[in-house]
Structure 1
Amino acid sequence: MSKVLIVGGGAAGMLASIFAARNGHEVHVYEKNEKLGKKLYITGKGRCNLTNACDMDTLFASVRTNSRFLYSAFYGFTNQDAMAFFEDEGLKIKTERGDRVFPLSDKSADVLDTLRRSMRRAGVEVHLNTEVRDLLITDGQAKGLLLADQTRVDGDAVMVATGGLSYPVTGSTGDGYRFAKEAGHKVTDCIPSLTPFNIREDFVKELQGLSLKNVELRIYNGKKEVSREFGEMMFTHFGITGPLVLTASSYVGALAAKQELRAVLDLKPALSEEQLDQRILREFDANQNKSFKNVIGSLFPAKLTPVMIALGDIEPDKKVHDISREERQGFVKLTKSLPMTVTGLRDYKEAIITKGGVAVKEINPSTMESKYVKGLYFIGEVLDLDAVTGGFNLQIAWSTAYAAGNAV
């Protein structure tokens, strides 16, 4: 039996501790917060999208960085295995649109309770309010931990499950990156990911709180299209957010962190320009003596209508029978390609995950063990792995944790 020390009591740290303990090891989890799983508690707006029930091809395609590294881990502990684990441990789950898997109760607390119960049953010892200062490494072998109060803890293996830099209020302050560098590992450049966009145009403030469904957002770097996403989004006082925006950020985040990008919002992607023009023309024919402002509202949510009128070239009080074909088609183009300027990303306080981390070429993909330090493992968000929204990032945590928990 080995003594396994896990730094970080988040999703990856908790699951790794369960499987390491089930394999007969003495397992200790060191968490700097007053409770386990603070970030897991707030994921999915407090509902905890714990994985995605898609097929394996979709699972791999949803990973944005270093998906090939995850081949062994994903097949070793699949999304189906993750669901089975939670169900076997007593958690009732459900699958929603987009194959997103949630606890049936819609409460992330139930996911945390399930993990904590499993840890107790497996005999894991948890040390809360305990910050790790350094890893103890001798002659290329992990030997233990040095705590913030200068206590030395000896062990046979160390797992770093400290998360990234996102949501620093939950304790994700980049400690794992420092540990990795001090152990001789490269840490790739880190930026916030799955994060809202800042938008320059003032009209977004007028639309604050407005949610739109079934719209399409295209992002351009000059003339080159770098992202195209369909789905839901919301306007905020600073810009735009929502599922399609967060997913877009995983594709353009590195660009948006360095330069401004052009965004184009298609408010009616189900219709071609010709079809939308015909629809507007039908509205005009049925209301020939009414003002433009009183007819066009049928196309948009009430909050959006005055903004679209202000951005267009048609006078609000102009009678629709006086509107020219060119004016009408100009408004069609505005509706199909509402222009915005992305001036940057929101910071780590609002980012769901961190893009970048411990270089995976220096990690054994089957075990998550360092190629440089024997008995040292890196799991979860601390690694240079990230995916789009939909439960995929938590699946990365579960799969890498399982690999390490069984390999130690």
Structure 2
Amino acid sequence: MNEYQVIVVGGGAAGTMAAGQAAKGGAKVLLLEKKDRLGRKIAISGKGRCNITNVENVSDFISHYPGNGRFLHSILRGFDNGALRDFLADYGVETKVERGGRVFPVSDDAETIVKALAAFLRDTGVRVETGVSVEEFLVDNGHVIGVRGNNQKQYLAPAVILCTGGSSYPGTGSTGDGFRFARQLGHQVITPRPALVPLKTAETWVKEVQGLSLRNVEGSLWVEGKRQGAEFGEMLFTHFGVSGPIILTLSRQAGDALREGKRVELRINLKPALSPEQLDARLQRDFQKYTNKQFKNAIDDLLPQSLIPVAIRLSEINPDKAVHQVSREERRTFLKLLQGLTLTITETLSIEAAIVTAGGVNVKEINPKTMASRCVQGLYWAGEVVDVDGITGGYNLQAAFAMGYRAGKAAAEQL
């Protein structure tokens, strides 16, 4: 006789939601988490603030998942952004909306989300065992019957929900275990690769401006000389290249192109609100204002201080030249630089440094109505282990919670 009816493997966003929903549906549930506590990745997300979801109309969410957004269509409607915020409010977590529709806890503390999920598990009677990693799935005649832990103990149940995460931030427990289990169980795994990851550049001048954050700029991605996409918002220079929200969103496409051996460039428009003509007029006004100054001292109003020496060097204009001696051609060169500062992208950081993993269990082998495996009876999938990934802005956590909600509910209903 089985000790449990549903076993959930992994105590992140998807796993905790799945376990609680299964228990709420009347099942006797065990949650196994390999780390010493639940929600390790939630606790560090959003720089410790946790961007839970987005207030955008849920019907528009799909376009923000470059990885199999259509698979999530009914899943997101089953547990949408409003339902998630209501759920958290029931556990004392009030939320607020920031720029770009991003939703955060009012406390700006991701730990409040972890505590709310832990309270949910207590309220629904889920048994939680931390420090237990699953070593093997037990299958009998095409039906999962339980798992074996690293403590050599067998945990038996007619339903298992696998929510082990991807391969990003392995220190939180996401070490790709789920992909190994998926292959052993006969599932196809789409090659895991980094998504939402900083980019390395060939240009070394980025070191001179590392730590500089730019707001209200446009970054466009160019592959083999053709524009492939653009994002407006914030970015950050690092000692190895670039990071920040718009870079992370462009990184998945950049990484895919690099793996195909293609030439990838990032072009930064530092003044996207102005047309070339408007920017030229603005520059000429500044030149008139500082007409007796040297060029290097006449562009303080246009650029952050640390970027000025780099921009001057790239423009090849003599920094000591008097402003009124700057030629029309030199001015045009400088204008192009301001609206097309170009960096050569050489590679992404590793998957371990990525916020999200692209790739995972093939969605064609998962029933979106239940999150049940089409390969093994009694097996369910939810969260980042599935081949679904979104851009920044709260979309990935919303997807994880929604998949967990559906998997837990379905597992309890089908017992």
Task: Report the TM-score range of the alignment, normalised by the length of the smaller protein.
Answer: over 0.9
Corresponding residue SS for 1:144: strand
Corresponding residue SS for 2:392: coil
In the other structure, the counterpart of 2:162 is 160
CA drift at 1:287: 2.1
Is the 1:217–1:228 Cα contact (8 Å) retained in structure 2?
yes
In the other structure, the counterpart of 1:405 is 408
Is the 1:288–1:319 Cα contact (8 Å) retained in structure 2?
yes
- Give the alignment of 1:184-263 within 5 angstroms: 184-259=186-261, 260-263=263-266
Q: 5+ unaligned residues in a row in structure 1: which ranges?
A: none
Letter of the 2:397 counterpart? L
Q: Quick check: 1:359 aligned with 2:337?
A: no
Q: Quick check: 1:55 aligned with 2:57?
A: yes
Render the CA deviation track for 1:30-87: whole Å, top value 9, x for unaligned.
Answer: 1110101101110011001111111023211111111111122111111111111111
Q: Quick check: 1:72 aligned with 2:74?
A: yes
Distance 1:256 1:227 in 2: 15
In the other structure, the counterpart of 2:83 is 81
Letter of the 1:29 counterpart? L
Letter of the 1:32 counterpart? K
In the other structure, the counterpart of 1:322 is 325
In the other structure, the counterpart of 2:300 is 297
Is the 2:211–2:237 Cα contact (8 Å) retained in structure 1?
yes
Distance 2:359 2:13 in 1: 18
Distance 2:295 2:73 in 1: 57
Q: Quick check: 1:137 aligned with 2:143?
A: no
Letter of the 1:309 counterpart? I
Distance 1:157 1:244 in 2: 40
Render the CA deviation track for 1:354-399: whole Å, top value 9, x for unaligned.
Answer: 0000001010101000011111001000000000001100011011
Letter of the 2:399 counterpart? I
146-155 vs 206-215, which deviates more? 146-155
Corresponding residue SS for 2:190: coil
Distance 2:290 2:131 in 1: 68
Q: Quick check: 1:339 aligned with 2:334?
A: no
Distance 2:365 2:210 in 1: 45
Distance 1:286 1:402 in 2: 61
Q: Quick check: 1:267 aligned with 2:281?
A: no
Q: Which of 98, 102, 109 lines up with 1:96 in the alignment? A: 98
Q: 5+ unaligned residues in a row in structure 2: which ranges?
A: none
Is the 1:360–1:384 Cα contact (8 Å) retained in structure 2?
yes
287-296 vs 247-256, which deviates more? 247-256
CA drift at 1:258: 4.1
Distance 1:356 1:209 in 2: 31
CA drift at 1:297: 1.8
Is the 2:164–2:385 Cα contact (8 Å) retained in structure 1?
yes
Distance 1:20 1:252 in 2: 39
Distance 2:332 2:180 in 1: 57
In the other structure, the counterpart of 1:117 is 119
Q: Quick check: 1:40 aligned with 2:79?
A: no
Is the 2:161–2:408 Cα contact (8 Å) retained in structure 1?
no
**Root-mean-square deviation over aligned CA pairs:** 1.2
Letter of the 1:253 counterpart? G
Corresponding residue SS for 1:389: coil
Corresponding residue SS for 2:352: coil
Render the CA deviation track for 1:74-106: whole Å, top value 9, x for unaligned.
Answer: 111111111111112221111111111111100
